[in-house]
Protein backbone atom coordinates (compact mmCIF):
# COMPACT_ATOMS: atom_id res chain seq x y z
CA UNK A 1 0.00 0.00 0.00
CA UNK A 2 1.37 3.38 -0.90
CA UNK A 3 1.95 5.93 1.83
CA UNK A 4 -0.18 9.03 2.08
CA UNK A 5 0.15 12.32 3.89
CA UNK A 6 -1.11 11.90 7.49
CA UNK A 7 -0.25 8.17 7.54
CA UNK A 8 1.94 7.12 10.44
CA UNK A 9 5.56 7.01 9.25
CA UNK A 10 6.55 3.32 9.22
CA UNK A 11 8.88 2.50 12.11
CA UNK A 12 12.03 0.43 11.51
CA UNK A 13 15.38 -0.56 12.97
CA UNK A 14 18.38 0.15 10.73
CA UNK A 15 22.14 0.20 10.63
CA UNK A 16 23.53 3.71 10.14
CA UNK A 17 26.86 5.52 10.12
CA UNK A 18 26.10 6.36 13.78
CA UNK A 19 25.12 2.83 14.87
CA UNK A 20 21.79 1.02 14.99
CA UNK A 21 18.72 3.25 15.29
CA UNK A 22 15.08 2.60 16.04
CA UNK A 23 13.45 5.23 13.87
CA UNK A 24 10.59 6.50 16.03
CA UNK A 25 12.80 6.48 19.13
CA UNK A 26 15.50 8.35 17.15
CA UNK A 27 12.96 11.00 16.08
CA UNK A 28 12.01 11.63 19.71
CA UNK A 29 9.63 14.55 20.27
CA UNK A 30 10.70 16.73 17.36
CA UNK A 31 10.46 16.76 13.59
CA UNK A 32 12.48 14.58 11.22
CA UNK A 33 13.49 14.47 7.57
CA UNK A 34 14.25 11.11 5.97
CA UNK A 35 15.77 11.49 2.52
CA UNK A 36 17.11 8.88 0.14
CA UNK A 37 19.66 9.13 -2.67
CA UNK A 38 20.39 6.65 -5.47
CA UNK A 39 24.01 5.76 -4.80
CA UNK A 40 27.15 6.81 -2.94
CA UNK A 41 30.06 8.19 -5.01
CA UNK A 42 27.78 9.73 -7.64
CA UNK A 43 28.00 13.40 -8.60
CA UNK A 44 24.50 14.82 -8.01
CA UNK A 45 24.18 12.97 -4.69
CA UNK A 46 27.55 14.35 -3.57
CA UNK A 47 26.26 17.91 -4.03
CA UNK A 48 22.93 17.10 -2.34
CA UNK A 49 24.42 15.47 0.76
CA UNK A 50 26.95 18.30 1.06
CA UNK A 51 24.18 20.89 0.92
CA UNK A 52 22.20 19.06 3.61
CA UNK A 53 25.35 19.12 5.77
CA UNK A 54 25.45 22.90 5.28
CA UNK A 55 21.75 23.24 6.18
CA UNK A 56 21.82 20.90 9.18
CA UNK A 57 22.24 23.73 11.76
CA UNK A 58 19.10 25.38 10.30
CA UNK A 59 17.13 22.16 10.75
CA UNK A 60 18.50 21.76 14.28
CA UNK A 61 17.31 25.30 15.14
CA UNK A 62 13.85 24.15 14.08
CA UNK A 63 13.99 21.03 16.28
CA UNK A 64 14.24 18.82 13.19
CA UNK A 65 16.68 15.92 12.78
CA UNK A 66 17.84 14.80 9.34
CA UNK A 67 18.86 11.33 8.17
CA UNK A 68 20.03 10.13 4.75
CA UNK A 69 19.54 6.71 3.18
CA UNK A 70 20.77 4.59 0.32
CA UNK A 71 21.23 0.85 -0.22
CA UNK A 72 25.02 1.22 0.06
CA UNK A 73 26.82 -0.27 3.10
CA UNK A 74 28.07 1.80 6.06
CA UNK A 75 31.71 1.41 4.87
CA UNK A 76 30.87 3.15 1.59
CA UNK A 77 28.94 5.92 3.35
CA UNK A 78 31.91 6.51 5.65
CA UNK A 79 34.44 6.67 2.80
CA UNK A 80 32.14 8.87 0.69
CA UNK A 81 31.62 11.53 3.39
CA UNK A 82 35.32 12.38 3.05
CA UNK A 83 34.75 13.15 -0.65
CA UNK A 84 31.67 15.21 0.24
CA UNK A 85 33.65 17.30 2.71
CA UNK A 86 36.54 17.71 0.28
CA UNK A 87 34.40 18.79 -2.68
CA UNK A 88 31.46 20.55 -0.99
CA UNK A 89 33.21 22.05 2.04
CA UNK A 90 30.77 20.71 4.64
CA UNK A 91 31.15 17.70 6.86
CA UNK A 92 28.23 15.29 7.09
CA UNK A 93 27.40 15.05 10.79
CA UNK A 94 23.94 13.54 10.34
CA UNK A 95 23.47 9.75 10.18
CA UNK A 96 23.10 7.84 6.92
CA UNK A 97 21.14 4.59 6.80
CA UNK A 98 22.76 1.60 5.10
CA UNK A 99 19.64 -0.04 3.66
CA UNK A 100 21.38 -2.99 1.99
CA UNK A 101 18.37 -5.30 2.40
CA UNK A 102 15.99 -2.60 1.00
CA UNK A 103 13.85 -2.82 4.14
CA UNK A 104 13.29 0.93 4.52
CA UNK A 105 13.25 1.51 0.75
CA UNK A 106 10.31 -0.90 0.45
CA UNK A 107 8.49 0.43 3.53
CA UNK A 108 8.66 3.97 2.12
CA UNK A 109 8.22 3.12 -1.59
CA UNK A 110 11.60 4.59 -2.46
CA UNK A 111 12.27 2.12 -5.28
CA UNK A 112 11.50 2.86 -8.92
CA UNK A 113 8.74 0.87 -10.64
CA UNK A 114 11.12 -1.52 -12.40
CA UNK A 115 12.84 -2.48 -9.12
CA UNK A 116 13.63 -6.23 -9.01
CA UNK A 117 13.48 -6.50 -5.21
CA UNK A 118 17.14 -7.29 -4.65
CA UNK A 119 20.20 -5.05 -4.34
CA UNK A 120 22.40 -7.52 -6.28
CA UNK A 121 23.61 -6.49 -9.70
CA UNK A 122 22.02 -3.04 -9.53
CA UNK A 123 23.31 0.01 -11.31
CA UNK A 124 22.83 3.54 -10.02
CA UNK A 125 20.41 4.33 -12.82
CA UNK A 126 18.17 1.25 -12.73
CA UNK A 127 18.12 -0.40 -9.35
CA UNK A 128 18.52 2.01 -6.45
CA UNK A 129 16.44 4.25 -4.23
CA UNK A 130 15.07 7.30 -6.01
CA UNK A 131 15.47 10.80 -4.56
CA UNK A 132 12.71 10.78 -1.92
CA UNK A 133 12.09 13.18 0.96
CA UNK A 134 9.73 12.56 3.86
CA UNK A 135 9.04 15.17 6.53
CA UNK A 136 7.68 13.57 9.68
CA UNK A 137 6.04 15.49 12.52
CA UNK A 138 6.43 15.05 16.28
CA UNK A 139 3.27 12.91 16.13
CA UNK A 140 5.23 10.52 13.81
CA UNK A 141 2.85 11.25 10.95
CA UNK A 142 4.01 11.96 7.40
CA UNK A 143 3.61 15.68 6.66
CA UNK A 144 5.29 15.86 3.24
CA UNK A 145 6.42 13.41 0.56
CA UNK A 146 8.50 14.32 -2.46
CA UNK A 147 10.09 12.19 -5.18
CA UNK A 148 12.62 13.46 -7.70
CA UNK A 149 14.19 11.76 -10.73
CA UNK A 150 17.74 10.40 -10.72
CA UNK A 151 19.20 13.14 -12.85
CA UNK A 152 17.76 16.15 -10.96
CA UNK A 153 19.22 17.33 -7.67
CA UNK A 154 16.66 18.53 -5.14
CA UNK A 155 16.25 22.06 -3.79
CA UNK A 156 16.72 21.58 -0.05
CA UNK A 157 16.10 25.29 0.62
CA UNK A 158 12.53 24.45 -0.40
CA UNK A 159 12.39 21.69 2.23
CA UNK A 160 13.46 24.23 4.87
CA UNK A 161 10.82 26.65 3.57
CA UNK A 162 8.09 24.00 3.80
CA UNK A 163 9.21 23.08 7.31
CA UNK A 164 8.87 26.75 8.33
CA UNK A 165 5.38 26.82 6.83
CA UNK A 166 4.31 23.57 8.49
CA UNK A 167 5.64 24.57 11.90
CA UNK A 168 3.87 27.94 11.66
CA UNK A 169 0.56 26.53 10.44
CA UNK A 170 0.63 23.75 13.07
CA UNK A 171 0.24 26.36 15.80
CA UNK A 172 -1.65 29.25 14.12
CA UNK A 173 -4.85 29.30 12.07
CA UNK A 174 -3.05 30.44 8.93
CA UNK A 175 -1.82 29.04 5.61
CA UNK A 176 1.10 30.28 3.52
CA UNK A 177 0.68 31.63 -0.03
CA UNK A 178 2.67 30.87 -3.16
CA UNK A 179 6.44 31.26 -2.76
CA UNK A 180 6.00 32.38 0.84
CA UNK A 181 9.08 32.65 2.98
CA UNK A 182 9.38 33.20 6.69
CA UNK A 183 8.48 36.82 7.54
CA UNK A 184 6.10 37.33 4.59
CA UNK A 185 2.38 37.88 5.13
CA UNK A 186 0.22 34.77 5.52
CA UNK A 187 -3.40 33.82 4.81
CA UNK A 188 -6.12 33.43 7.43
CA UNK A 189 -7.60 29.96 6.88
CA UNK A 190 -11.16 29.97 5.50
CA UNK A 191 -12.55 28.09 8.54
CA UNK A 192 -11.86 31.18 10.69
CA UNK A 193 -14.77 33.65 10.57
CA UNK A 194 -14.12 37.41 10.58
CA UNK A 195 -15.54 37.42 14.11
CA UNK A 196 -12.98 34.83 15.31
CA UNK A 197 -10.21 36.56 13.33
CA UNK A 198 -10.80 39.78 15.34
CA UNK A 199 -9.72 37.90 18.46
CA UNK A 200 -6.79 36.11 16.81
CA UNK A 201 -5.28 38.92 14.74
CA UNK A 202 -5.70 42.06 16.84
CA UNK A 203 -3.64 44.24 14.48
CA UNK A 204 -6.13 43.55 11.70
CA UNK A 205 -5.82 42.06 8.22
CA UNK A 206 -6.37 42.92 4.59
CA UNK A 207 -9.38 41.41 2.81
CA UNK A 208 -8.80 40.95 -0.96
CA UNK A 209 -11.80 38.61 -1.25
CA UNK A 210 -13.91 37.19 1.59
CA UNK A 211 -11.89 33.95 1.18
CA UNK A 212 -8.50 35.67 0.75
CA UNK A 213 -7.45 37.57 3.86
CA UNK A 214 -3.80 38.51 4.35
CA UNK A 215 -2.29 39.09 7.76
CA UNK A 216 1.19 39.67 9.21
CA UNK A 217 2.96 36.45 10.12
CA UNK A 218 2.10 35.64 13.75
CA UNK A 219 5.13 35.19 16.04
Catalytic residues: 45
* Smallest gap from residue 70 Cβ to ligand BEZ (A): 10
Closest to 35 (Cα-Cα) out of 148, 120, 123, 138: 148
- The span of 2-10, 17-25, 38-46, 189-197 binding ligand BEZ (CB under 6 A) equals 38-46
CB 74 within 8 A of CB 16: yes
Nearest-angstrom CA–CA distance, 14 and 187? 41
45 in contact with ligand BEZ (CB under 6 A):
yes
* Smallest gap from residue 88 Cβ to ligand BEZ (A): 13
CB 5 within 8 A of CB 144: yes
Work out which of 5, 125, 170, 212 binds ligand BEZ, going by CB under 6 A.
Answer: 125
DSSP string, 132-180: EEEEE-TTSBEEEEEEE-TTS---HHHHHHHHHHHHHHHHSSEE--TT-
Work out which of 19, 43, 199, 210 binds ligand BEZ, going by CB under 6 A.
Answer: 43
87 in contact with ligand BEZ (CB under 6 A):
no
> How many Cβ atoms sit within 10 Å of the Cβ of residue 86?
11
* Smallest gap from residue 131 Cβ to ligand BEZ (A): 8
50 in contact with ligand BEZ (CB under 6 A):
no
Work out which of 29, 151, 191, 193 binds ligand BEZ, going by CB under 6 A.
Answer: 151
39 in contact with ligand BEZ (CB under 6 A):
yes
Closest to 96 (Cα-Cα) out of 36, 23, 157: 36
150 in contact with ligand BEZ (CB under 6 A):
yes
Interface positions with ligand BEZ (CB under 6 A): 38-39, 42-45, 124-125, 150-151
Amino acid sequence: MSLRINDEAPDFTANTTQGVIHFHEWIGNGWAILFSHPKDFTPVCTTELGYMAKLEPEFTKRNCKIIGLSVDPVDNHTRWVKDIEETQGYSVNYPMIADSDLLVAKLYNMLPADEAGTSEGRTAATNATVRSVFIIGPDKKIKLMLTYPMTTGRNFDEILRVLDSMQLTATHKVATPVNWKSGDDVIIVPSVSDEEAKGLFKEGWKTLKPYLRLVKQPR
